[in-house]
Amino acid sequence: MTYDAVVLDNDGVLTTMTDRSVMVRAVRGAFQDMGVADPDPEDVEQLIYGVTPEILQSVSDRYGLAPRPLWYRRDMRSSLVQEREVRAGRKALYRDFEALDAIDRPLGIVSSNQHRTVAAILEQHDIGHYFETVYGREMEPESLARKKPDPHYLDLAIGDLGAENPLFVGDSESDVQAARAAGVDSVFIRRDHRAETELAVPPTYEIESLAELPDIVHRSA
Residues 99 and 121 in one domain: yes
Each residue of 55-70: pLDDT tens digit?
Answer: 999 999 999 999 999 9
Residues 97 and 203 in one domain: yes
Residues 122 and 212 in one domain: yes
Each residue of 93-137: pLDDT tens digit?
Answer: 999 999 999 999 999 999 999 999 999 999 999 999 999 999 999
Predicted TM-score (pTM) of the model is 0.95
Domain range for 35: 20-87
Each residue of 172-215: pLDDT tens digit?
Answer: 999 999 999 999 999 999 999 999 999 999 999 999 999 999 99
H/E run at residue 8: strand 5-8
Identify how many contiguous H helices and E strands the chain contains and give both numbers.
8, 6
Give the end of a domain, one of 38, 59, 87. 87
Give the end of a domain, one of 34, 56, 87. 87
Domain count, the chain: 2
Which pLDDT value is given to residue 220? Answer: 54
Residues 65 and 145 in one domain: no
Residues 80 and 97 in one domain: no
CB 10 within 8 A of CB 121: yes
Which pLDDT value is given to residue 211? Answer: 98
Which pLDDT value is given to residue 42? Answer: 98
Give me the percent of the chain exceeding a pLDDT of 90.
98
Res. 86: pLDDT tops 90: yes
Which pLDDT value is given to residue 19? Answer: 95
Q: What are phi and psi of 220, to 5 degrees?
A: -80, 140
- Cα–Cα dist 118/114, whole Å: 6
Which pLDDT value is given to residue 70? Answer: 98
Which pLDDT value is given to residue 1? Answer: 58
Which pLDDT value is given to residue 106? Answer: 98
Amino acid symbol at 183: G
Residues 144 and 68 in one domain: no
Confidence of residue 219 (pLDDT cuts 50, 70, 90): confident
Which pLDDT value is given to residue 52? Answer: 97
Residues 111 and 161 in one domain: yes
Residues 182 and 95 in one domain: yes
CB 112 within 8 A of CB 17: no
One DSSP character per residue, 155-208 reads HHHHHHHT-SSEEEEESSHHHHHHHHHHT-EEEEE--GGGTT---SS--SEEES
